[in-house]
Structure 1
Amino acid sequence: MKTFVADYVYPVCADPIKNGIVVVDDGGKILSVSDPQSSDPPPADAQHLRGVIVPGFVNTHCHTELSHLKDKVKPGGGLVSFIQDVQSFRNSEKEAVIAAAEKADQEMIANGIVACADTSNSNISLGIKQNSKLHYHTFVEIFGFLPENADGLFEKALALAEEFKPQSVSITAHAPYSVSKELFKLIKKYSDSGENLLSIHNQECEDENKFYRYKLGGFIDMYKHFGINIDYFRPQARNSLQSIIPLLTNRQKILLVHNTCTNLKDIYFIKRFDRKINWCFCPNANMYIEKRLPKIDLFVNQGLNITLGTDSLASNAKLCILSEMRTLQENIPSLSFGTLLQWGTRNGAEFMGIDDRFGTIEEGKTPGLNLLTGLEGGKITAATSVSKLI
């Protein structure tokens, strides 16, 4: 057994405990969480720590197979330019891609992440995930905006998902602008028939909404760049999110990722439908690509379920949930540490369906434990750092 005593313990499922005591077994299972007023004194070999003990972090959006693109894509160019740059580097040497993904896996562990929802377009991360200490869920992501290709692309996604089993895996659409209505329908039919968690990139830039509303903007040039004929597509006279919501299943949890240009009308529109929507923010990637953040206050005021992700190293300097929390804290000082912590732990675990093990410090769970130091006045600062305890 190990006993940790810290200035505060944040179970997330309960109020913070001053001078809290956490006891774990050799496997990391929580044996007890208590305050000094209602428990026996800690044993002589207890580790007394200055700082705050929190659960391991849950990263609900990452692309480990893009880790080799770190520092290769120029920041601030906007989403369309970013997509074109990423595609230009896609055919890198396999050994380099695997080595970078392995390093990314270790980086997440060192930064206190215990679970990761990872997006994949190939099987290149399969071996890494099989041997990792992290819990992974893999989203096999489908691209395909031409209706005639829908059946073939879906069959390829099914085959790739089979390669990842028995690991946790599901099939999902990439984004509204990259998936045809026919392909969305195939994914919905599949999702209606069994368990299939969904994660979709959503409204990362204004051009996405312009494309769906008026068939204008940067995506027109992007399709030309890739040689894709989109003559068949007709403008929908409404934003991309409003256009695809009717095409999504009501039987699965859905994670909408980025949401940089989502507005209140979009949120009200969604509320008219019976859909299990969660919202993931990747603030560092938003700043890297578009130099802006989503309207976070809008989502908070609507009481929506929010999680955090890192996106890939193609659009981020590090894979660290604390870093994402810090960016939000710096830009939105009104956010409390408790709120940010819940986004980075419990909410993500609940979305991934792993909250029986992760997300909160509770007896019987194995959530991992992190020590945060450098908090000031209950706020995350530039000095705040994370160290992994178990």
Structure 2
Amino acid sequence: MVNYYSADYILPVSDKPIQGGVIGVDNNGEIIGVYEPNAKEISDKSISRHKGIITPGFINSHCHLELSHLKGKLPKGIGLIPFIESVIKERGASDEEIERAMEKADQDMKASGIVAVGDIVNKSLSKNIKRQSALHYHTFVEILCFDPEKAQEAFREGLTLCEEFDKLPSSITPHAPYSVCKEIFRFLKQLHNPEGNLLSIHNQESEEENKFYRYKSGGFVDFYNKLNRNIDFFKAQARDSIQTIVPLLPKKQPVMFVHNTYTNMKDIYFVDRFGGKVTWCLCPNANLYIENRLPKIDIFLNQDSPIVLGTDSLASNDKLCILSELITLHEHFPYLNLENTIKWATINGATFFGINDRFGSIEKGKKPGLNLITNTSGLKINKDSQVTPLF
């Protein structure tokens, strides 16, 4: 059986918007055709017509499912370092509590039209949830180790944890420049196929990170002093953090830099000259929650490197909803075009995760899921817009 759906606009992503277009979908969710409103193939079909915009299912490129139990527990606008300290203090909970929160977050993401997720983990608790989920997950096993003497042990532990996600897409990744020593990057290069190991690195969420790398001063020096960690080995680099770590990556390494709240144009130019396979991930609601600041969106536009969207965690966001991230972007940057930003929410993430043969665009033969965005005006969304999966 084939079901036919129509709306004021179809955003296939792979092609131009179709006003009043129609999509044919079989019982398995596979697209069997995308049609103009007066196409002969659908002249005698029963069509479910809607007000609003139909898009492919969303890709949440950056999430921390493990922190879902911290929803509403951390204050807003306190800055990155106090936020990290709060997470360390509050994240302790029973496995049962964490699993219940993760299950609910997984269900809520599905209800908000998300079909695939890039998820950061520090343990294997989410494994069974991911196996049973209707969502596609890529799991990033996060390594945190700023002590060169402990780097080999930390890397081995990361590999072991990654193996626990057997038969589920996964990779090991450094957490952030301020929390990973150079030795970890050296071990990453020694992997059998480093280019096949997707990386997701938190980048420049705070100006303190740049101060730390430029001058070895600021909040991260105090942070490590509080933890009683000796960082005498670390030397000021006289340049931003991203400019220091990019040359440490394999040339063809697919890497997603996440947040980028304090990334500047010089950083962008440096990354472009390096010639790696870089994707920029924006998590606007989390940026506002933690630092009360958004990245300089303009510097990421018209660049060769693609942009994707993430929600971060419920420790730093009120909900895991990609439409909510789009609404925030369009409210703060009204010149943005939905036809472009919907690519950030769909095909760009699908391409990074290597699942664009199924997800990311409304094309014949794909099973991308269909989202209906309502309370729209033409091809514009607003604070009242809502999303509902059509199946």
Whether the TM-score (by the shorter chain) exceeds 0.5 is: yes
Aligned to 2:333: 332
The more displaced of 377-386 and 190-199 is 190-199
Is 1:51 the counterpart of 2:52? The answer is: yes
The more displaced of 365-374 and 246-255 is 246-255
Could you tell me which amino acid in structure 2 is paired with residue 32 of structure 1? G
Q: Describe the shift of the 1:43–1:161 C-alpha distance in structure 2 as closer, same or farther (beyond 3 A).
A: farther
> For each residue in 1:89-138, what CA deviation from the matched residue of structure 2 results, as whole angstroms up to 9, or x when unmatched?
23211111110011100010000000000000100100100000000000
Q: Could you state the TM-score of these two structures normalised by the residue count of structure 2?
A: 0.97
Q: Describe the shift of the 1:191–1:263 C-alpha distance in structure 2 as closer, same or farther (beyond 3 A).
A: farther
Q: Aligned ranges for residues 292-307 of structure 1 at < 5 Å? A: 292-307=293-308
Q: Aligned ranges for residues 71-220 of structure 1 at < 5 Å? A: 71-190=72-191, 192-193=193-194, 195-220=196-221
Following superposition, the deviation at residue 37 of structure 1 comes to 2.8
Find the aligned partners of 2:320 and 2:171 in 1 and give their Cα distance: 22
Aligned to 2:367: 366
Aligned to 1:280: 281
Find the aligned partners of 1:142 and 1:290 in 2 and give their Cα distance: 24
Is 1:384 the counterpart of 2:389? The answer is: no
> For each residue in 1:283-325, what CA deviation from the matched residue of structure 2 results, as whole angstroms up to 9, or x when unmatched?
0000000000000011104343100000000000000000000
Following superposition, the deviation at residue 42 of structure 1 comes to 4.8
Find the aligned partners of 1:160 and 1:112 in 2 and give their Cα distance: 29
Q: Could you state the TM-score of these two structures normalised by the residue count of structure 1?
A: 0.98
Following superposition, the deviation at residue 146 of structure 1 comes to 0.3
CA RMSD of aligned residues (A): 1.2
Aligned to 1:230: 231
Following superposition, the deviation at residue 194 of structure 1 comes to 5.8
Following superposition, the deviation at residue 45 of structure 1 comes to 3.5
2:195, 2:250 within 8 Å by CA — same for their partners in 1? no
Could you tell me which amino acid in structure 2 is paired with residue 58 of structure 1? I
The number of equivalent residue pairs is: 390
Partner SS for 1:234:
coil
Partner SS for 2:246:
helix
2:25, 2:31 within 8 Å by CA — same for their partners in 1? yes
Q: Describe the shift of the 1:219–1:17 C-alpha distance in structure 2 as closer, same or farther (beyond 3 A).
A: same
> For each residue in 1:195-233, what CA deviation from the matched residue of structure 2 results, as whole angstroms up to 9, or x when unmatched?
201110000010000000001111111112222111111
> For each residue in 1:61-88, what CA deviation from the matched residue of structure 2 results, as whole angstroms up to 9, or x when unmatched?
0000000011111110000001011111
Could you tell me which amino acid in structure 2 is paired with residue 53 of structure 1? I
Find the aligned partners of 2:43 and 2:225 in 1 and give their Cα distance: 67
1:173, 1:187 within 8 Å by CA — same for their partners in 2? no
Aligned to 1:315: 316
1:191, 1:252 within 8 Å by CA — same for their partners in 2? no
1:282, 1:309 within 8 Å by CA — same for their partners in 2? yes
Following superposition, the deviation at residue 18 of structure 1 comes to 1.3
1:215, 1:234 within 8 Å by CA — same for their partners in 2? yes
The more displaced of 360-369 and 303-312 is 303-312
Q: Percent identity?
A: 53
Unaligned runs of 5+ in 1: none
> For each residue in 1:163-194, what CA deviation from the matched residue of structure 2 results, as whole angstroms up to 9, or x when unmatched?
10110000100000000001111122227456
Partner SS for 1:50:
coil
Find the aligned partners of 1:96 and 1:44 in 2 and give their Cα distance: 48
Could you tell me which amino acid in structure 2 is paired with residue 294 of structure 1? P
Find the aligned partners of 2:6 and 2:185 in 1 and give their Cα distance: 50
Following superposition, the deviation at residue 252 of structure 1 comes to 2.6
2:5, 2:23 within 8 Å by CA — same for their partners in 1? yes
Find the aligned partners of 1:71 and 1:42 in 2 and give their Cα distance: 51
Unaligned runs of 5+ in 2: none
Aligned to 1:355: 356
Following superposition, the deviation at residue 378 of structure 1 comes to 2.3
The more displaced of 228-237 and 131-140 is 228-237
Q: Describe the shift of the 1:81–1:193 C-alpha distance in structure 2 as closer, same or farther (beyond 3 A).
A: closer
Find the aligned partners of 2:375 and 2:192 in 1 and give their Cα distance: 44
2:71, 2:314 within 8 Å by CA — same for their partners in 1? yes
Is 1:343 the counterpart of 2:341? The answer is: no
Following superposition, the deviation at residue 38 of structure 1 comes to 2.8
Find the aligned partners of 1:222 and 1:239 in 2 and give their Cα distance: 19
Q: Describe the shift of the 1:302–1:175 C-alpha distance in structure 2 as closer, same or farther (beyond 3 A).
A: same
Could you tell me which amino acid in structure 2 is paired with residue 368 of structure 1? G
Aligned to 1:269: 270
The more displaced of 291-300 and 90-99 is 90-99
> For each residue in 1:214-270, what CA deviation from the matched residue of structure 2 results, as whole angstroms up to 9, or x when unmatched?
011111111122221111111000000001011112233110000000001111111
1:191, 1:249 within 8 Å by CA — same for their partners in 2? no
Find the aligned partners of 1:278 and 1:142 in 2 and give their Cα distance: 20
Aligned to 2:7: 6
Partner SS for 1:40:
helix
The more displaced of 249-258 and 51-60 is 249-258
